[in-house]
Structure 1
């Protein structure tokens, strides 16, 4: 619309005819978000007419008027309409529409105006303080106390645009409450809502806010509420961060009551009570005179390290106390049963429940990266990543904090029991818990329900968790320590080679039975014994001599239960005369489909070759060779043991998959054993300067002694 048409437009807006007003305001809403148009509209007195329409009209005329004002505020113009002595009446009207009007198009416009009003930062020159932020809504909400209840209910609307605007209003109210609390920290803890921000947040949560947002975050219509949901997720992290920053102070009644409730829920015996009438003693840390006698293990019994529990919440803050209180309140029977069970154990084996609860709180806090909530630009990042990454940005499980904490704490108890942990193993169990939560919670998709998460946390196999722990340690250590870690690995591989060689050679020293191909059919006559004498027997036994220089063997007609003695083996091969060992086992080594040898009877053959002229071979000359012994192993494992054992005796590398797998296994265990001796902080930090360097002996002599 051309700016020259504005006078005529204003005339129609002020008309007594509803049809004329409706058409004019319909055109207005499509042009008013043009700053140049809006500037002329405002200077021509348009705000007065627009305000009159909002106050007095209804139906579509009202909907278009609300939409026009909303779009004007979006371009940061028209704020004067709220900076006047009569602005309160306009706010009352908009709040009234939100509470009482059922039409979606009117509700959307009214909600949008309230979002802008609460989110706006007023200029310093404003003539009427309190016309922006939640303070501007407070008088109207006093008239309509059901305002918050109805706003939260509108999150269940079938109109996704209305849901998005409603959630945007709730986000604005929460952010305003937090920011006002920060601004007034020196004077009062009250926010613009007229109450402390934690109480305001709890009020919204009690109305079903979390459940409604969680449902939207897992819905298929997510794209319609993307930015309000991301904003709410960010605000949730901000709130968790603020709760953690609050220091537990027993001078504050609510903190003292929370700690007292934990003690009472533990069903303490009379020995732990302050007096005979069942009332718990006041916490002695308050320093009040006349405090009742304090039991020496009152708080240690619940899993604290000392008898000053408030100080132990320093790291987890009031958030840690909230989580522990919530767990105890919702699981009182299980809490008491666990305490009773732990009381039967020696002190060093008892699971510290309170410390475990705080550890779970901090683990979840780190998992959701709540510490960086203030710097999180979710909207900007959302526009830069692909669809799959966008979906991963939503963390609906964050909204299930209480249930995750309970499930995580129960998982901690299970880990403690299954690992046989003691008090000095506490940090090790916490590390296992971190890996567990990262695998189950961190890898969960947006649509995964919290019920499944709870089951996985409780049923996750300890063996898999241990394997992940060692892999993570290995990767982290290798990344930080680089060349030093590589040299350790190489050293361990050499140790593993020595170990496996000895194992394989011992198999040869023990001796083994081998099969032998049956005589060919055409050579079989009536006299079977004569045929066997001609073509060989069906069994062969081989054994390495004790000095490891000769391979003794002999053929037998039957396989005896008792192993033949070395002097019963009439044939022998001098290992010094062996030129090579060949086998079809190596042909299967590179088969990626299986690391095991898959052979049928007689399909695996080991052929030992020797020099025709051993004397020349001993001198280092290359001579002709011929097969001197053929072995047919009865199993894949036996084939691997004998082939690689012979090769390693000849100072050659093993070639079978089974032996190489054993080598890797032994080397990996060596790495893991060494990693378990490394302090956790050293794993994630680089080596100190000069690590691995051999110190110089310059200036030293041989004049030294041992002080015994």
Structure 2
């Protein structure tokens, strides 16, 4: 390495002279700048040692390090890249030394320098050497004290430093309930600055996800009902219950977070959405009903639906699709939760309200048996059994329907005035509509959603249920239906649900209302008859629906594993440029190609940039750089353009035109670092593999981004269903619409034989 002085330094010395090696400017703390030819085969320690010798620095070389102009630490992994790029470097304090200095400054709490100290801390805290020394010098306790005692921009810097520290999987296990409550209070205050709320929200999200069930390594037991207790120093000791316990102490906290979904600051809205998604994904069984009930009371679905219509939605697409997937899980859980009015007073109150709104009195039939729920269109007086298939979701929908119709009693009396066989079974019809809507929105399982577009109508499930139920009543009357025609009317409603709720990402509610309230019976019937010619009535039977649900879960998991396998194999991509950049200023990068591969631990994306494609060996030896999967908060699509002269379809544009985003592009976005990678896939299949595979890896993810993946899941489900049905339909076996359980045994004096 040779050094040539500039300014105060007048002497020169030569060590390992490499005349063909690029020259880098290296500046020192006292304002001196030297030109250095650095041998790229040296280690960073050797480079620093030689610089200290050449500059006659008497302190040990271990006290110093190199950083670039952006303060990124120069390491053995990126040294060669810095040298080739002729990047300007700085000889600065080593991370460990800097950490000790900053920890001491926090202890002294000098108000004049505190803000600058915290500004440096938030940058350096991600570096492992710095972080370990900072923690060893009791820096975490000092940082917590600053968070307790400051406000404004100083607090914002302190919270951002804490947020960045928590990206490490060690060192912050001593954060207690008081600290969590302090963060909750900061978030609850409408007066808190946006730059304060963003890191505070991210800290809570990280604490929610630091659940023992997410603990990495062989000790993890995500599928176990009782995961093992984490080690005392593990950060995986928080989770939903710990955070929610502190949230409950601040009544307006959730409401404030939901209100921020409408913030003009897109980043603030994104942080808030991500926190809500994490809470939904990790909600514990003991607090689930309380938490979901509070979200529903605060109209979180309506807030998200409003956000769908704003012009700034593009940056939130992934978060909104995650929320939809979470709502699918919530709806499925409600549908599969049995109604138990004795155990849940809220359910008992809902049933009482429904009955009182009917205006009826309990009667007795000729046999002396009570007539109550059968007069409301249920098949028996066992109301718990009547909601067996639709669970709490069915009860909620009927309750909302009755609440929304002030003349519900007239509807009931009108049906009771008809001959018994001509009465529309109100309760049974309501439950059937719940089934039809669940089928329409693929609420089959607690797994992932395959919707690739916004579903604002699903966000108001109860409204769609009320409209479809009224349509059911109207079709019953206009068709002159009798008891035996129930299945025929259900078929009419199923057909209309498909029509009224189609293309919901572009249609408006008034169009849905028109389709349900104004459609003529004859037109609906004619269309439904045409559909019958193309469909098999067998597919609408309940046992077949249940079989489809089971196959759907299997198909989704199969496709999910296939997508992740594609990430483990790796692929070549084009390094992209920001959309809209002028073509005349955009140049072909020296290394336009990037190969990326997921490691077997599924924690990092390893990659290498290259001027040309080359055969990449198995493993990670050829892939020196990496991206932490936990840092990825969103996989944005259609965001960037190929550089000139790399992809042909972009090269025919006029020179003055801006670069146009490729439909095969995607960006890996971090909540606080911007874009971690901007890539363009070679084809549609590779694009779908990677965008969906990466979404499925995220702890708070779960949605599907491509129609290709969604199509695969649906196609596999339908193919599997038809294969299963061939065994039955080929033998002309009659499949019943439902099975009626026989009477229970009169005593326990029986046994089950073993079938050989």
Among candidates 434, 439, 448, match of residue 376 of structure 1: 448
Kindly report which structure 2 residues correspond to 1:125-524, keeping only aligned pairs within 5 A, or say none.
Answer: 125-127=230-232, 132-137=238-243, 140-141=246-247, 143-177=249-283, 180-181=284-285, 190-191=286-287, 197-252=288-343, 253-269=345-361, 272=362, 296-333=370-407, 335-372=408-445, 374-376=446-448, 390=452, 392=453, 394-441=454-501, 443-477=502-536
Deviation at 1:408, TM superposition (A): 0.6
Q: Which has the larger Rg?
A: 1
TM, length-normalised to structure 2: 0.53
How many positions carry a matched residue from both structures?
439
Contact 1:476 1:684 in 2 (8 A): no
Note if contact 1:13-1:21 (Cα within 8 Å) is conserved in structure 2.
Answer: no
Offset, 1:429: 0.9
Between the aligned partners of 2:729 and 2:325, the Cα distance in structure 1 is 41
**1:52-107 Cα distance to aligned partner (Å, 9 max, x none):** 3323333323212211221332343443242xxxx233223212221234210001
Query: Residues 321 and 691 (structure 1 numbering): CA distance in 2 closer, same or farther, change over 3 Å?
Result: closer
What is the DSSP-based 3-state SS (H/G/I as helix, E as strand, rest coil) of the residue aligned with 2:532? helix
* Cα displacement string for residues 439-477 of structure 1 (whole angstroms, at most 9, x for unaligned residues): 211x13324332331222122343443344334333335
| C-alpha RMSD of matched pairs (Å) | 3.4
Q: What is the alpha-carbon distance in structure 1 between the residues aligned to residue 360 and residue 724 of structure 2?
A: 43
Moved more, 363-372 or 402-411: 363-372
Query: Do the aligned partners of residues 327 and 96 (structure 1) sit closer, same or farther apart at CA in structure 2, a change above 3 Å counting?
Result: same
Q: Which moves more between the two structures, 349-358 or 303-312?
A: 303-312
Moved more, 149-158 or 398-407: 149-158
Is 1:108 paired with 2:198?
A: yes
Question: Quick one: structure 1 residues 154 and 263, their matched pair in 2 at CA, closer, same or farther if it must change by over 3 Å?
Answer: same
Compared CA separation, residues 159 and 398, structure 1 to 2 (3 A): same
List gaps (5 residues or longer) in structure 2: 1-71, 74-92, 216-228, 540-720, 733-756
Whether the 8 Å CA contact 1:218–1:446 is kept in 2: the answer is no
CA contact (8 A) 1:240 1:319 kept: yes
Q: Give SS of 1:65's match.
A: helix
- Residue 118 of structure 1 aligns to a residue whose secondary structure is helix
Conservation of the 8 A alpha-carbon contact between 2:378 and 2:427: yes
SS of the equivalent of 1:375 reads coil
Going from structure 1 to structure 2, the CA distance change for 1:246 and 1:479 (only over 3 Å counts) comes to: closer
Q: Deviations over 1:99-120 (max 9, x none)?
A: 2342100011111101111221
Equivalents in 1 of 2:280, 2:355: separation in Å?
A: 33
Deviation at 1:168, TM superposition (A): 2.0
The structure carrying a bigger strand percent of its residues is 2
Q: CA deviation at 1:141?
A: 4.0
Tell whether the 8 Å contact from 2:328 to 2:449 is kept in structure 1 after alignment: no
1:75-86 matches, within 5 Å, as 75-82=168-175
Rate the CA distance shift 1:41–1:254 in 2: closer, same or farther, 3 A.
same
Distance 1:80 1:690 in 2: 62
CA contact (8 A) 1:12 1:20 kept: no
Report what 1:534 is aligned to: none
Aligned equivalents of 1:689, 1:303: Cα separation in 2: 33
The CA distance in 1 between the partners of 2:537 and 2:241, in whole Å, is 57
Output the CA distance in 2 between the equivalents of 1:294 and 1:213: 52
CA distance in structure 2 between the partners assigned to 1:268 and 1:376 by the alignment: 43
